[in-house]
Amino acid sequence: MELKNQRRMKPPPQRLVRHTGVMSDDNEWFYCVADGTVRRGKESRGLERMGPYPDEATARRALEIARERNKAADEQDKEWR
């Protein structure tokens, strides 16, 4: 069976991931949403983890940072409409 006017779909472009610096998960800080603790390295499950953050103090502010980012994104959405 021949399909007429069928366009050949291009494959989606590959996403390039660029890493800056040395990848060392043990030196990065994460916030665990399951129990509210701050941990160095990837000790908790990925779905329960926010980060990485450069230091412990920033990781402790993970929820505050997320609220600020969400608020900014909501404001941009209002401007877009």
Give the other-Cβ count within 10 Å of 27's Cβ.
Answer: 13
Q: Is the pLDDT of residue 43 over 70?
A: yes
pTM of model > 0.95: no
**Is it the case that residue 29 has pLDDT exceeding 60?**
yes
pLDDT at 79 over 90: no
Cα–Cα dist 63/24, whole Å: 23
pLDDT higher than 80, residue 67: yes
| E strand or H helix that includes residue 72 | helix 62-80
